[in-house]
Amino acid sequence: MKIQYNYDPDADIIAVEINMQKSDYTLELTEHILVDVTNDMKLVGIEILDASEEISKLFNRHVSKNEMKQLLCKIKQEPNEYLVQFKSPQKNENANLFIPLYRSSVLLSQSKTY
Of 108 and 69, the one with more pLDDT: 69
Separation between Cα atoms, residue 102 and residue 22, nearest integer Å: 19
- Given a contact cutoff of 8 angstroms between Cβ atoms, the answer to whether 51 and 43 are in contact is no
pLDDT at 104 over 60: no
Name the residue range of residue 51's domain.
3-110
How many domains would you assign to the chain?
1
Amino acid at 62: H
- Closest among 16, 42, 27, 29 to 110, alpha carbons compared: 27
Tell me, what's the pLDDT at 87? Answer: 96
pLDDT at 29 over 70: yes
Bridge partners of 88?
93
What is the pLDDT of the chain when averaged over all its residues?
Answer: 88
Q: What is the pTM of this model?
A: 0.86
Of the candidate ranges 15-19, 42-46, 54-58, 77-81, the one whose mean pLDDT is the lowest: 77-81
For range 16-27, the mean pLDDT: 90
- Mean pLDDT highest for which of 18-22, 44-48, 102-106? 44-48
For range 85-110, the mean pLDDT: 78
What are the backbone angles phi and psi of residue 65, rounded to the nearest 5°?
Answer: -65, -35
